[in-house]
Amino acid sequence: MCDKLKKVSFVFLGLVLTSFGLKLLGVYDLTFGGTAGLATVLTFASSLSWGVLFFLVNLPFFWMSVKKLGMWFTISSLMSITTISIIRDGLAFLPFITLPIWLVPILAGLCIGFGVTLVLNNGSSLGGIHIFALYLDQKWRINRGLTIFMSDFLIIVFAGLFVGWGNAMLSVCTIFIASLIIGRYKKSPIKVPDAQVVAESINEAS
C-alpha cells in the first residue's frame, strides 16, 4: 500500500513539473514534441484549451496501448493524461514572471525531462505518438525512430509556420534537453517480456 502511494505521489509530482514546463512554453509561443507539442500547435489555430486538445489527440492511441502494453498500464496512462490536462489548464490562471527568451527552453526542458521521467519510472505514461511508433514497428517493421523523428519534425515545421522559425528552433532546444534527461534516467515502466523494447520506445511528455 505504501509503495503504491509512493508511486502515485511521484507520478503526480511528475505531472505537475511537466505541466509547468509545457505552460512555460505556451506563454512564450514555444512548443514540444509528441502529442504535447501537437496540442500546443493546435492551440495556435483553435479556441479550445491545451488540456482539451491534449486529451483528444491522445484518444486514438489508447487502443494500441491496450493491445501492446496491457489494460492496467493503459488505465494508468489515461488517468495521467486526464490529470495533466486539468493541471495544465489550471495553470492558465497563475501569473508568470517575464524571463529572457533564451532561458525558457532550458527551464522548460528541465521541468519536462524530470517530470516525464518520474511518470515513466513509476508505472504510467503520457500516451502519445511513441506508442504509435512502436505499433508501426511491430506490425509493419517501420523504424520507430524514423516515425518519432518525422512526427516531431512536422510539429516543429507547423510551429514555425504559426509562430516563427526562431521560436521553432528554441523549441528544438527544449526537446533536446528533455530527451537527454529522459534517456539518462528512464527505467522500464512495466514488467513484461518486451519491457526493454517498450521502455526504449515510449517518450511522456509526450
> What is the model's pLDDT at position 198?
40
Q: Check residues 119 and 133 and name the one with the higher pLDDT.
A: 119
- Quick one: cell of 96? 508568470
| pLDDT band at residue 63 under the 50/70/90 scheme | confident
On average, the pLDDT of the chain sits at 82
Task: Tell me the CA distances in angstroms from 33 to 22, 75, 93, 104, 196, one per residue in order.
Answer: 11, 23, 24, 16, 22
As a whole number, mean pLDDT of residues 61-65 equals 77
More confident residue, 56 or 76: 56
Cβ(202)–Cβ(188) below 8 Å: no
pLDDT surpasses 90 at 107: yes
